């Protein structure tokens, strides 16, 4: 009997050792920062199969790839998650490795990236998307316990059948019962101090919006959603053929460009693969 156990012992020890990482508790819970912080997460990339809808030729583009960042804004009074990637965390296999959906690939689950800096979905006060397309709502359901900040025309298209083929309704279905703030003004000041503002920029979708941040060291920044996809769209003034309302897109772009001039804000184009690669990624942050 003793001999039997001693023969098994190495296997028992190995089992305990390999199980040990699972028992490591989550990082220490994050505390509210003294000033606004912006964390950028790598939620993967899109290998665009057909660029013709962007009215751009391959030789006009630095790359046809698009980046997919996700963002956390940590404010002294609460937190906001802005866009939740394309690939839901449930699409990742337990052994590790990238997750995929349609033509998107992501290196790591979003909730795991949040946990690394001490945030659980339950710590997220507000959830907002630039718009409802599949590559922005991947992990929406994880934040169904947050207050959803959305405009009525955008929420309506998300829950009206037949569903748009440009999204994945299953990935946001839990938001139907979320505590929801229906934004009725062009600007929505999330924390009431002008540092985190959702700005209406309709056209790409019925009620597309961008995120304006006033950061103490970085300065003002606008995070674009899909007001532009490729940076060349901005330079060459090209409008995709697949906009919900192209005229609105033209007007929204003009208004935002005027705002950038007036405010001195930088524009971060979320899908700009090369610019996104240069951004500091979580656990580093902008402040």
What region does 3 belong to: left with phi over 0, alpha with psi -120 to 50, or beta? alpha
Task: Map residue 176 onto helix, strand or coil.
Answer: helix
Q: Specify the stretch interacting with Zn ion by CB under 5 A; choose among 9-17, 121-129, 135-143, 174-182.
A: 135-143
Member of 226, 233, 243, 272 binding Zn ion (CB under 5 A): 226
Provide the minimum distance between the beta carbon of 43 and Zn ion in the complex, in angstroms, as a whole number: 11
Contact 246, 239 (CB under 8 A): yes
Q: Specify the stretch interacting with Zn ion by CB under 5 A; choose among 18-26, 134-142, 155-163, 201-209.
A: 134-142
Provide the minimum distance between the beta carbon of 167 and Zn ion in the complex, in angstroms, as a whole number: 11
Cβ-based nearer residue to Zn ion, 120 or 279: 279
Q: How many CB atoms lie within 10 A of CB 101?
A: 18
Q: CA–CA separation, 274 vs 124, rounded Å?
A: 29
Provide the minimum distance between the beta carbon of 226 and Zn ion in the complex, in angstroms, as a whole number: 4
Cβ-based nearer residue to Zn ion, 66 or 74: 66
Q: CA–CA separation, 86 vs 253, rounded Å?
A: 24
Provide the minimum distance between the beta carbon of 69 and Zn ion in the complex, in angstroms, as a whole number: 11
Is residue 168 at the binding interface for Zn ion, with CB under 5 A as the rule?
Answer: no
The strand pairing partners of 221, in sequence order, are 213, 266
Contacts of 274 (CB under 8 A, 6+ apart): 62, 63, 231
Contact 166, 136 (CB under 8 A): no
Is residue 135 at the binding interface for Zn ion, with CB under 5 A as the rule?
Answer: yes
Question: Binders of Zn ion: how many residues, by CB under 5 A?
Answer: 2
Q: Specify the stretch interacting with Zn ion by CB under 5 A; choose among 85-93, 102-110, 148-156, 220-228.
A: 220-228
What letter does residue 27 receive in the DSSP assignment? P
Cβ-based nearer residue to Zn ion, 126 or 230: 230
What letter does residue 43 receive in the DSSP assignment? E
Cβ-based nearer residue to Zn ion, 123 or 226: 226
Provide the minimum distance between the beta carbon of 283 and Zn ion in the complex, in angstroms, as a whole number: 25
Binding site for Zn ion (CB under 5 A): 135, 226
């Amino acid at each position: 009997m003793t001999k039997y156990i001693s023969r098994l012992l190495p296997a028992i020890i190995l089992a305990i050792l390999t199980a040990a990482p699972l028992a490591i508790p989550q990082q220490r819970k994050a505390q509210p920062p003294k000033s606004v912080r912006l964390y950028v997460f790598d939620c993967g990339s899109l290998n665009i199969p057909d660029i013709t809808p962007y009215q751009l030729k391959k030789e006009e583009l630095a790359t046809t790839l698009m980046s997919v960042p996700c963002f956390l804004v940590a404010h002294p009074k609460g937190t906001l998650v802005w866009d939740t990637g394309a690939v839901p965390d449930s699409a990742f296999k337990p052994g590790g490795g990238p997750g995929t959906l349609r033509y998107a690939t992501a290196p790591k689950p979003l909730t795991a990236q949040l946990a690394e800096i001490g945030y659980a979905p339950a710590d997220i006060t507000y959830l907002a998307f630039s718009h409802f397309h599949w590559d922005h709502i991947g992990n929406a359901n994880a934040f169904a316990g947050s207050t959803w900040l959305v405009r009525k025309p955008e929420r309506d298209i998300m829950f009206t059948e037949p569903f748009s083929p440009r999204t994945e309704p299953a990935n946001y279905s839990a938001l139907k019962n979320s505590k929801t703030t229906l934004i009725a003004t062009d600007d929505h000041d999330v924390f009431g101090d002008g540092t985190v503002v959702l700005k209406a920029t309709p056209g790409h979708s019925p009620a597309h919006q961008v995120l304006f941040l006033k950061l103490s060291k970085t300065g003002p920044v606008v995070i674009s959603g899909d007001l532009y996809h490729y940076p060349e769209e901005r330079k060459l003034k090209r409008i995709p053929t697949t906009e919900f309302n192209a005229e609105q897109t033209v007007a929204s772009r003009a208004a935002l460009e005027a705002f950038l001039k007036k405010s001195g804000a930088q524009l971060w184009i979320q899908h700009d693969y090369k610019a996104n690669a240069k951004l500091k990624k979580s656990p580093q942050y902008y402040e």
